[in-house]
Structure 1
Amino acid sequence: MKLINKSILTAVITLSTASVYYAQEVQDSTKTKSKDIEEVILRGVTDIAKDRKTPVAASTIKAAQLAERLGNQELPEILNTTPSVYATKSGGGFGDGGLTIRGFESRNIAVMVNGMPVNDMEGGAVYFSNWTGLSDVTSTLQVQRGLGSSKLAIASVGGTVNFLTRSADMKRGGVIRLGVGNNDYLKTSFSYNTGKSKDGVSASFLMSRQAGGTYIENTDYESYAYFFALGYEINKKHNLQFTITSAPQWHDQRTFAPTIQNYINYNPDHDGSPYRRYNSDFGYYTDANGNKVALANRSNYYAKPVMMLNWDWTMSEKSKLSTVLYMSNGRGGGTGDLGRVGGKGMTDFYDAAGHFNYDAIFAANAAVNLNTAGAGSTLVRRSNINSHNWYGILANFQHKINDNWNFSIGTDDRYYYGYHYQVLTDLYGAAGYKDNANKNLPAPRIVNTLYDYKKLTWNPFGGKLAPAEDQVGYSNDGEVLWYSGFAQVEYNKDNLSAFLQGSVSNQGYQRIDNYVVDGSTLKGQTVNTKTGFKNIFGYNIKGGANYNINEQHNVFANLGYYSKQPFLNTVYPSNQQLINPYLSNEKISSAEIGYGFRSAKFTANVNVYRTQWKDRWLRKTGQTFNLADGSTTTGYSEINGITEVHQGVEFDGVYKPNRFLEIQGMFSWGDYYYKGNANVASFDDNNNPVTLAGSAGNELYLDKVKVGGSSNNSIPQMTASLGLTVKPVKDLNIFGTWRYVGKLYSTIDAGTFTNVSAQERGVLKLPDFNLFDVGFSYKIRLQNEAQYFTIGANVYNLFDKIYISDSATSVFANDVPTKLADGSNNTAKQTYEQLGMMYNGIATGNRAYFGFGTTWAATLSFNF
């Protein structure tokens, strides 16, 4: 929900000045070019890997490919043809997709816009629903796998994703674009650039709207974006730019992964196949006119205006300084249910089609007398607010010592304040919701003020925060102080290039719980509303070298070590005001070697890597526990002392036999596993410790178990793709792609690794799958060369392949379900396999997400 959006875009391009590498595409065996990126007028801490120079594994996607092939896919899905990258739509809501690189999830992938880190400062999360507009203004998208070349103190454990946008002072012109697609997808946008005047003044703006639904039931959405930049080049030494931008959006979601059995049971055709569109997070109610109206229980909404003031100073031919001041006030959250009515929760009100029966919920709520009922005795829809204020300064000084040596030094300082609380968005027919959670207010309180999540926040100065009397459930804030410094030394001579860089940082975390009474006691310790700051020091050092053997062959190597500070919820686990007794920095060590080949018709890269991640802390939410007393409950687990090893080999290549044909290929093989065991503590949803059935204590038996995701996302350890682009005539491109995903492992479920037998079974391996996409684009040129139309279309999953993209559980064929397929009790205690409750070799008790079926998108644009 923290958003850097469609529009952080243009202005960030002028961030600070460090060594800038230019991504290049091979032109022939002796020359490379970087025209597309040079036109962006890069300045700042924009560490883009340069071919045959920067010693890192990188893949680059240009603006033309984004415009041609993205369509109505999730933004990170454009990366699926690069080695060791796996991007899925996850739950299927607009922008809810997941991303992994080399087996590491997005919290441990540094997402950058023109070199500026944008991961959430509390938990490292990235929410791509707020990034969709980047596709309109990105000139180059580069993925650096591994520790990467950025000098900043960022969490690039798995890799770095860097968006390079067009500059605000690009040449004069505009674009009008219209896009249509499946499920009422409609996107319109208009952008215009004035170009730079003789006085050095330039302006640029963009406006867009996107709306419709996705392939999944009841996933409507609406997204806007606005952007305005004003630049002033005072003289050849000084350049100023001011930018304001935002991209407010709302979208209905599917956040709970249904069981495979429910996909089958709730298929309207009742043919025994899974209904991939099924969404268990919505239902219907009857309005005053007797019509059935859909109502979502799960939705997301956010707006994050960003304002930036950038100053670039060319001090001399050898020295440069650049500084950017920025602020961002994000407002929004996500909805879900709160409370129970008559002892029942939402899942007790499913109808025969597997959707919520809101008429029954409304009736049950209406019968509750809040004057006599206890707290939480009505079932309502709440919103978890996740808002923030973020201020920062980023500065960098670069000096060229001589023709071979240069160095840079800089600072990245930030202040962040996050607001986390609940408000009500729908009473579901109740008179209100009784709450007694806030110990600092008279209790119990009846709250009935509602907040409409579809009323988008356009206010560039922040929007209103709800007063304490409207808050329910919880209210806590997170405060982060970040100070860091970085430095780099580079050497370039003849065929050898090398660098050594390092950074130090201090992260100060404070948790503020507005529901805690100062001086109260928790686990034998005195706690207050404010914890005070916990300062944690971290650092990293990395270096590498590239050697060009001749005009065709080059080799490189890099290595690095990170002492990475944990996230805020690791410092204060269990949503409480106590510091984690096992708190320690996470240690990441990485090494990599690579080889490159370049010729007029064929280019290829091969690299081998190994990364070890020690002392990792993980919080696994949304779990169902079988307890020692025979009952079940839902809750979360907190795991510490995890060690992971990620190692593998990657290949990518391009073959151009002639000007009419291009073939692109990729292959990656990985071996990701846990090394040693870890410690786990499990809690129910009310933060009470629980004892799991079959548990031998708090040890988690993970040694040699394959690495799975930490939420609903799965992790593949083998991927491949083969693409073909045909250019039969000028301005016509016809393309197709085959993609393979294998060795796909389910999410690790902490509740199932509490004994040695579970360790021996490991994590569930999902079926491999193959997908095919096709498309075309054609440019229609007018008499004026600056004016032309472009039409294009894409079809994704051409053959309508049914496949599982993500799984949240590891249920095996020889496990015993509590219920049969028809919902009756499994009194005979037969296994899934004995009962025939299997789908494509997988037990139907697994909770999973199926990939989308065949979808399509078409675009028409006019450049002038």
Structure 2
Amino acid sequence: MSGQVKDARSGIALPGATVLLDGAVVGATDAAGAFAVPVVPAGAHTLRITFVGYEPADLPVVGQTQEQRLSSALQPGGVLTGEALVTASRANDRTATAYTNLGKQDLAKRNFGQDLPYLLDQTPSVVVNSDAGAGVGYTDIRIRGTSNTGINMTINGVPLNDAESHGSFLINLPDLASSINSLQIQRGVGTSQNGGAAFGASINISTLENRREAYGETQNSFGSFNTWKNNVSFGTGLLGGRFTLDGRLSRISSDGYMNRAASDLKSYYFAAGYQQKNTLIKFITFSGREKTYQAWNGVPEPALTGDRADLQKYVDNYELTEADAARVLAEGRRFSSYTYDNQTDNYQQNHYQLHLNQGLGQNWNLGAALHLTRGFGYYESYRTGRTLANFGLDNVVIGGTTIKKTNLIDRKWLDNYFYGGTFALNYQPRDNDKLQATFGGAWNRFLNDHYGEVIWAQYASNGNIRQRYYFNDAVKTDYNAYARATLQVLPALGVYADVQARHIRYNIDGMEPRPGAANAVKGLVDVSTHVGYTFFNPKAGATLTLPRGQQLYASFAVGQREPVRADFVDRPTGSEQPKAERLNDFEAGYRLARPDAGLLGPNTALRFEANYFYMGYRNQLVATGQLNDVGTALRTNVARSYRTGLELTGSVSANDKISLSSTLTLSRNRILNYRDVTYDADSLYNPIRVDGPARSTTVSYSPSVISAHTLEGQPLKGLRVALLYKTVSRQYLDNSTSETRRLKPYQVLDFRLRYAIRPVFVKEIELGLLVNNVLNRQYVANGYTYGYLGASGRQETFNWYFPQATRNYLLSVGVKF
């Protein structure tokens, strides 16, 4: 189905209008106001077209075996739609960048309760993993080899990344996917975003959908490892032509594939909206509370190999006790080193957003938001044989015996506020589609207290209840402004420019525990840090539209970002302060969209994209392979490095009966003039440089080949069956390119089935089945390594891994009222 959208009064084409099929975003109009929907399933549907400042148009359509041609004329003066609030940060065919759009239906297909990264696993250049092994609990996503600390994430234009770690901890927002109406992944630097810099990709999330009809839904899943998901969603629709109210309550729990890796997750989402003509006001609050058994230690290598001699090496180096070693042999790849029953991570995060979208005359509209995020929680850990003095406690004297060490339980707390405002002023002329522009920015502040408490000790000495043994606070202020414009200089040639200025001020004051560090006093080091950065990030590109749905594009973008908290406070003794990173990103590609390709019959749709990228880094902070004591990766600057590769993406579908989509990434990820650094046997914070020639090495956690393939068919009306195949090539745990420190290549096949019926008493009942890892592969998707110079002067290596679940399943039942 294809068509064109125009202004009903002037007849001028409307580029950038949003096209939705049954509530799911399926595209947008191009420079000529044209759109194409490759496949319309059999049966009756509603096509909705929305555009800022116009009444939405709802068109009834029916899936047919012949191509359909539609036209729509929108009446000016309509209320603003939620989609307009995120257009300022979204890429499109004019911005010459590599991106992937996913609608509500795309996410719903895979949403059985696993975390959001697993729903994005089939998109280009993506690798996901799970600490607990089954996609519930702590999960991570890497795009082009970049971890989530280099992936900018926003929700409705509001930054989600933690201001200090730069990470996006989606475990704090369980079942967020059930409230997302659209999502865009931009690879590379992409367009200017609020919050942390995009150093590998950005993920732009929107929950601003306005549903005009009342609804009620519930989704329920059950599966392996005692995994449960239950939620209920509701909406009033448009009340009195002005008001909307939407909500969701969710609960997800799982024992996890790994032993003692359970998760208990709860969340809510509520939104209240008011709209009148050119004004839309929406208040949104959402929250998540998680309690997870700590699984970030992974399993030692002998748990996978069963090598008893290697296991003894771990015991001899105090990596494991004799009792732990016995459990390694008994539990194997599901081993957990923790046995304390409350070795847990406990955190709650509350979000509050107030959005305004205001039409300003015929050609301008303003989107603005105020936001507040409140986070608080702690890690609780049982620790053995800890020095009393390192916790501010005196030695204990009993008779003639002086006791200097004790077993204890401590809690490491975070207590923070993140607040600020964002805005975007958009120029979208109705009578001329050649020029579109946006001016926007944000001001944000982050306040965070870090402290530790001893809540129990075998020998409490002079301690009090909740003995506080360290404290430091952090204040970070971040503001930015950007301007972006696209200009159609010729009917087929468009140019794009984007400039951003960003300033950061970051202050840390206080002490942090660092037993064994050369400069530690009573186990504490002063981590006070006072730094400031100012970045200027230009971007430019061009697009060339060719006949028959083809396009060529190329762009160049600069991204810069400051180091994260761990880079400052966890850096090895005597090392220099970490440097800011710079990325020069070149992207060039070819796109083809043919709704009438005719390969498999008259209703065959074809899409293809080839994207080349070269990402050249200066002072890139790369993972050393080591972790600190709460599972955060340690990193080091490397002077010069790069990522370059080719991303191929294609899909073909025929009559909505069968479709095949594939993506393949071939890349080369290198550090130039790299030298290995190892540490002494007593502390990972005391480095010993090993002399050796500088050489080119592979960047850690950067596979050279990633592919994803989905074959989906509809053998019966309402029944959709899919096979999903994922391959990831070899990855190295550090930057040494050592074959003894690597993740083996793996391939995973999943099976998905969904069957929807529409009885007379409810709108829809959908039954679902997801079988993960159908071929029952024993694979590992993440890990880390420690390298020491032992007493003999030989290099000793200790590898830890995160095994992923063997064959497992999830069943679901969804009901729409």
Which TM-score band (shorter chain)?
0.7 to 0.9
2:364 aligns to what? 319
Q: How far is the alpha carbon of 1:656 from its aligned partner?
A: 1.3
Q: 1:485 aligns with which of 457, 481, 484?
A: 481
Instruction: Give the distance between the partners of 1:830 and 1:691, measured in 2 at CA.
Output: 15
1:735 aligns to what? 722
Instruction: Give the distance between the partners of 1:857 and 1:637, measured in 2 at CA.
Output: 35
Q: How far is the alpha carbon of 1:532 from its aligned partner?
A: 8.0
Instruction: Give the distance between the partners of 1:531 and 1:335, measured in 2 at CA.
Output: 25
1:846 aligns with 2:799: yes
Instruction: Give the distance between the partners of 1:325 and 1:372, measured in 2 at CA.
Output: 63
The 5-angstrom pairing of residues 552-591 of structure 1 reads 552-570=549-567, 574=571, 582=577, 584-591=579-586
1:592 aligns with 2:634: no
Tell whether the 8 Å contact from 1:589 to 1:611 is kept in structure 2 after alignment.
yes
1:739-764 deviations in Å (ceiling 9; x for gaps): 2111322234xxxx6xxxxx7x5784
2:813 aligns to what? 860
Code of the aligned partner of 1:592: E
1:73 aligns with 2:73: no
1:232 aligns to what? 274
SS in 1 for 2:167: coil
Q: TM-score, normalised by structure 1?
A: 0.75
1:59 aligns to what? 100
Q: 2:374 aligns with which of 326, 329, 338?
A: 329
Tell whether the 8 Å contact from 2:397 to 2:403 is kept in structure 1 after alignment.
no
1:44 aligns with 2:74: no
Instruction: Give the distance between the partners of 2:284 and 2:327, measured in 1 at CA.
Output: 54
Code of the aligned partner of 2:333: R
Tell whether the 8 Å contact from 1:636 to 1:683 is kept in structure 2 after alignment.
no
Q: How far is the alpha carbon of 1:658 from its aligned partner?
A: 3.6
1:707-750 deviations in Å (ceiling 9; x for gaps): 10xxxxx33221122221110121110111122111322234xx
How many residue pairs match? The answer is 718
1:707 aligns with 2:699: yes
Tell whether the 8 Å contact from 1:139 to 1:166 is kept in structure 2 after alignment.
yes
Code of the aligned partner of 1:245: F
Code of the aligned partner of 1:387: D
Code of the aligned partner of 1:146: G
Q: How far is the alpha carbon of 1:860 from its aligned partner?
A: 0.6
Query: C-alpha root-mean-square deviation of aligned residues, in Å?
Result: 4.2
Tell whether the 8 Å contact from 2:348 to 2:377 is kept in structure 1 after alignment.
yes
SS in 2 for 1:380: strand
1:185-224 deviations in Å (ceiling 9; x for gaps): 1111111111122251221121111223111111222111
> Relative to 1, partners in 2 of residues 1:119 and 1:50: Cα closer, same or farther, differing over 3 Å?
closer
1:58-93 deviations in Å (ceiling 9; x for gaps): 223332232222324332022222221111114538
2:66 aligns to what? none
> Relative to 1, partners in 2 of residues 1:254 and 1:531: Cα closer, same or farther, differing over 3 Å?
closer
Instruction: Give the distance between the partners of 2:707 and 2:96, measured in 1 at CA.
Output: 23
Q: How far is the alpha carbon of 1:618 from its aligned partner?
A: 5.2
2:188 aligns to what? 146
1:395 aligns to what? 423
1:96 aligns with 2:138: yes
Q: How far is the alpha carbon of 1:691 from its aligned partner?
A: 5.0
1:781 aligns with 2:758: yes
SS in 1 for 2:673: coil
The 5-angstrom pairing of residues 205-224 of structure 1 reads 205-224=247-266
Code of the aligned partner of 1:69: R
Code of the aligned partner of 1:854: R
2:617 aligns to what? 613
> Relative to 1, partners in 2 of residues 1:635 and 1:105: Cα closer, same or farther, differing over 3 Å?
closer
> Relative to 1, partners in 2 of residues 1:649 and 1:477: Cα closer, same or farther, differing over 3 Å?
same
Q: TM-score, normalised by structure 2?
A: 0.79
Instruction: Give the distance between the partners of 1:156 and 1:792, measured in 2 at CA.
Output: 35
2:539 aligns to what? 542
1:279 aligns with 2:336: yes
> Relative to 1, partners in 2 of residues 1:400 and 1:734: Cα closer, same or farther, differing over 3 Å?
closer
Code of the aligned partner of 1:774: F
Q: 1:423 aligns with which of 453, 464, 489?
A: 453
Tell whether the 8 Å contact from 1:637 to 1:682 is kept in structure 2 after alignment.
no
1:283-315 deviations in Å (ceiling 9; x for gaps): 5xxxxxxxxxxx253x21211111222222211
> Relative to 1, partners in 2 of residues 1:723 and 1:215: Cα closer, same or farther, differing over 3 Å?
same
Q: Return 5+ residue gaps in structure 2 as ranges.
A: 1-14, 20-24, 39-46, 51-55, 57-80, 312-323, 514-518, 597-604
1:777-820 deviations in Å (ceiling 9; x for gaps): 01110226x61111101000012111222231389xxx9999xx
1:413-445 deviations in Å (ceiling 9; x for gaps): 0011011111245x3xx45645xxxxxxxxxx4
Q: 2:442 aligns with which of 406, 412, 419?
A: 412
Tell whether the 8 Å contact from 2:222 to 2:810 is kept in structure 1 after alignment.
yes
> Relative to 1, partners in 2 of residues 1:342 and 1:155: Cα closer, same or farther, differing over 3 Å?
closer
Code of the aligned partner of 2:464: V
1:723 aligns with 2:706: no
Code of the aligned partner of 1:537: T
> Relative to 1, partners in 2 of residues 1:168 and 1:684: Cα closer, same or farther, differing over 3 Å?
farther
2:65 aligns to what? none
SS in 2 for 1:378: strand
Code of the aligned partner of 2:447: Y
Instruction: Give the distance between the partners of 1:531 and 1:547, measured in 2 at CA.
Output: 51
Tell whether the 8 Å contact from 2:113 to 2:252 is kept in structure 1 after alignment.
no
1:821-862 deviations in Å (ceiling 9; x for gaps): xxxxxx9x9999xxxxxxxxxx9x632222211111111111
> Relative to 1, partners in 2 of residues 1:483 and 1:679: Cα closer, same or farther, differing over 3 Å?
farther
> Relative to 1, partners in 2 of residues 1:721 and 1:116: Cα closer, same or farther, differing over 3 Å?
same
Code of the aligned partner of 2:408: V
> Relative to 1, partners in 2 of residues 1:733 and 1:431: Cα closer, same or farther, differing over 3 Å?
same
Tell whether the 8 Å contact from 1:674 to 1:704 is kept in structure 2 after alignment.
yes
Tell whether the 8 Å contact from 1:215 to 1:855 is kept in structure 2 after alignment.
no
Tell whether the 8 Å contact from 1:776 to 1:794 is kept in structure 2 after alignment.
yes
Tell whether the 8 Å contact from 1:72 to 1:181 is kept in structure 2 after alignment.
no
1:448 aligns to what? 465
Q: Which moved more, 1:109-118 or 1:50-59?
A: 50-59
Code of the aligned partner of 2:708: S
> Relative to 1, partners in 2 of residues 1:636 and 1:489: Cα closer, same or farther, differing over 3 Å?
closer
1:450-490 deviations in Å (ceiling 9; x for gaps): xxxxxxxxxxxxxxxxxxxx422x21111101121111122
Q: Return 5+ residue gaps in structure 1 as ranges.
A: 1-17, 284-294, 346-366, 435-444, 450-469, 517-521, 625-633, 709-713, 754-758, 819-826, 833-842
2:284 aligns to what? 243
Tell whether the 8 Å contact from 1:774 to 1:796 is kept in structure 2 after alignment.
yes
Tell whether the 8 Å contact from 1:432 to 1:447 is kept in structure 2 after alignment.
no
Q: How far is the alpha carbon of 1:262 from its aligned partner?
A: 2.9
Instruction: Give the distance between the partners of 2:655 and 2:206, measured in 1 at CA.
Output: 30
Q: How far is the alpha carbon of 1:638 from its aligned partner?
A: 6.1
> Relative to 1, partners in 2 of residues 1:543 and 1:691: Cα closer, same or farther, differing over 3 Å?
closer
Q: 1:647 aligns with which of 641, 644, 647?
A: 644
SS in 2 for 1:448: coil
> Relative to 1, partners in 2 of residues 1:324 and 1:31: Cα closer, same or farther, differing over 3 Å?
closer
Instruction: Give the distance between the partners of 2:28 and 2:632, measured in 1 at CA.
Output: 52
Code of the aligned partner of 1:282: T
Tell whether the 8 Å contact from 1:228 to 1:245 is kept in structure 2 after alignment.
yes
SS in 1 for 2:423: strand
Code of the aligned partner of 2:84: R
Instruction: Give the distance between the partners of 1:420 and 1:331, measured in 2 at CA.
Output: 10
Code of the aligned partner of 1:657: A
Instruction: Give the distance between the partners of 1:56 and 1:807, measured in 2 at CA.
Output: 32
Instruction: Give the distance between the partners of 2:425 and 2:29, measured in 1 at CA.
Output: 33
Tell whether the 8 Å contact from 2:233 to 2:247 is kept in structure 1 after alignment.
yes
1:668-719 deviations in Å (ceiling 9; x for gaps): 11100101236969689879x6353x723xxx866311110xxxxx332211
Q: How far is the alpha carbon of 1:586 from its aligned partner?
A: 1.5
